[in-house]
Amino acid sequence: MSYKNHLFLVGSLLMGGLLTCCQFDAKQVSDDNIIPVSTNRMLNPIAPPGVYIADPEVRQMPDGRVYVYGSRDEPGNAWCSRSYNVLSSSDLVNWSVEQFSFATEGPGKQVDYTDRILYAPDCIHHGGKYYLYYCLAGGGDDEGVAVSSSPYGPFKDGKVIEGIKGIDPSVFIDDDGQAYLFWGQGYAKGAKLSKDMLSIEGAVHDSLLTYETHFFNEGSSVRKRNGIYYFVYGSHSQHGESNCATLDYATSTSPLGPYTYRGVIVDNWGSGRNLVNNHGCITEINGRWYIAYHRPTHASATMRKACLEPISFNPDGTIPKVEMTTQGIGGPISPLYRMDAARACLMSGNVMVSVRRPENDIPVEYLAAVRDGDHAYWKYYDFTGSDVNHFICKTWGKNKAAKIEIHLDSPEGELIGTSELAPMQGETAYAIHETKIKPVTGKHALVLVFKAVDPNTKDVDLMNLEWFVFEKK
């Protein structure tokens, strides 16, 4: 089985709730009564469990599929890795993964001059070919280009683009066929590309955006709509110099500026502890516009996962700020869909997303390191007409005696139920917990608040939460 097909199967199994069971506690219920997550849900994050794609550049290519090009985070690296994966989808629901589309070492190696880590890339179609622009970390942050006849790669014969230094290359082709390359950190730079797309020509514009006037940090990305050029980037505008959690934008009537600062599109602040940055783009898919961004997992600045949110435009071309959500581009979530806990869009406290990778088994993401007073959000649920009256969740590992309070809209919002978790003993691998809830209607953010029962466990990990679902009984 190919890696691509394996991960498609993994995602299908996880979405379908076909995980096998070990032992239950006294509150056991049958998985047969649980309605799995619908296969037509467009939820965040978009990558399958265990796959960490950051810095997303999203393109709808001539074949009609949507492709995501980005950095690939993996355990053991401070940032990124030495290879790229390509995510792709025909329906924005089921995402497949092409491994080693380009690499500086190991399978997919297509450079003979370096084995450095690869930072954020971009890719575009032009003249029947696909051009991948990549960045090599350290050593001056060289940028290069590789070419393929397929949007999946492999991208071959990587070569340095002479005359530029900096991170996060982004490519744009204007309506007249002229291509441009953008890059930089602290100062956004740009230049025209040659007709063969392999080198720059003419002058380099050194200060298209600056930290002083645009709060620019890194992550250049340019698109055009109705004659307006949109420059999207990771910004320090909201959370100080140590964190570029927002994606801001500036506009111009020319690809090489001048650009006027416009504001924030999306902010990933609160998506995890030790958050450091954001990076993404706006993109048009089948006539609708979206913003792609990433959020962290594993309580680290890395292990980041790509997400999508819909955006709109005001009559003057400006973009209203959007929320970071779990529902993503698919609309409000039915409570009857089984939710992977790792899809929480906001987390507070010690809690984090983690992954287990059993030998010869599928990877599973979950909420780990949950402690007393922690909470997490899933936005948004629509309870209208569902008549659900029970909450069911799965914990695994040796959880302590604890409570999961089920709130609406905020940690202090309406309490609709409390799930009581008995401490797990012996060799039990996991437990299913069930509790009654109050009637709910309307659209709400779901907030789970975690509480210790024993005062002696307030400063220790209480549980691993894998999934939850609402039922009508």
Tell me the pLDDT tens digit for each residue of 356-413.
998 888 899 999 999 999 999 999 999 999 999 999 999 998 889 999 999 999 999 9
User: What pLDDT was estimated at residue 240?
Assistant: 84
* Confidence tier at 249 by pLDDT (50, 70, 90): very high
Question: What average pLDDT does the chain have?
Answer: 90
- Give the integer Cα–Cα distance in Å for 361 and 364: 9
The better pLDDT of the pair 432, 12 is held by 432
Q: Token digits for 355?
A: 């992954």
Which amino acid, 406?
I
User: What pLDDT was estimated at residue 37?
Assistant: 35
Q: Cα dihedral sign for 137, 218, 49, 417?
A: positive
| Total Cβ atoms within 10 A of residue 178 | 12
- Give the integer Cα–Cα distance in Å for 294 and 320: 19
User: What pLDDT was estimated at residue 360?
Assistant: 83
Please calculate the CA angle 142-133-163 and round it to the nearest 5 degrees: 40
- Give the integer Cα–Cα distance in Å for 65 and 90: 5
| 110 in Cβ contact with 123 (< 8 Å) | no
User: What pLDDT was estimated at residue 429?
Assistant: 84
Q: Residue 458 above 70 pLDDT? A: yes
Q: Cα dihedral sign for 53, 350, 275, 283?
A: positive
Say whether 467 sits in a helix, a strand or coil.
strand
* Contacts with 250 (C-beta within 8 Å, 6 or more apart), sequence order: 209, 214, 230, 231, 233, 259, 260, 261, 262
What is the arithmetic mean of pLDDT over 111-135? 95
User: What pLDDT was estimated at residue 176?
Assistant: 97
User: What pLDDT was estimated at residue 358?
Assistant: 86
Task: State how far the alpha carbon of 83 is from the alpha carbons of 55, 67, 72, 301, in Å.
Answer: 14, 16, 7, 19
What is the arithmetic mean of pLDDT over 118-123? 97
- Please tell me the least confidently modeled range out of 2-16, 62-76, 118-132: 2-16
* Confidence tier at 427 by pLDDT (50, 70, 90): low
| 265 in Cβ contact with 321 (< 8 Å) | yes
Give the phi and the psi of residue 217 in degrees, each rounded to 5: -110, -60
* Confidence tier at 14 by pLDDT (50, 70, 90): very low
- Please tell me the least confidently modeled range out of 20-34, 324-338, 383-397: 20-34
| 321 in Cβ contact with 84 (< 8 Å) | no
User: What pLDDT was estimated at residue 140?
Assistant: 66
| Beta strands in 383-426, from DSSP E residues, in sequence order | 390-396, 402-408, 415-421
* Confidence tier at 8 by pLDDT (50, 70, 90): very low
The better pLDDT of the pair 17, 228 is held by 228
pTM: 0.90
User: Of the candidates 219, 312, 220, which has an alpha carbon nearest to the alpha carbon of residue 257?
Assistant: 220
Enclosing H/E stretch for 5: helix 3-16
All domains of the chain in start order, with CATH: 45-310 (2.115.10.20), 339-471 (2.60.120.260)
- Give the integer Cα–Cα distance in Å for 63 and 90: 9
User: Of the candidates 232, 273, 265, 257, which has an alpha carbon nearest to the alpha carbon of residue 376?
Assistant: 273
The better pLDDT of the pair 7, 430 is held by 430
Give the phi and the psi of residue 20 in degrees, each rounded to 5: -75, 160
User: What pLDDT was estimated at residue 172?
Assistant: 98
User: What pLDDT was estimated at residue 174?
Assistant: 98
- Please tell me the least confidently modeled range out of 71-85, 163-177, 191-205: 71-85
Task: State how far the alpha carbon of 50 is from the alpha carbons of 355, 361, 455, in Å.
Answer: 6, 12, 34
User: What pLDDT was estimated at residue 77?
Assistant: 67
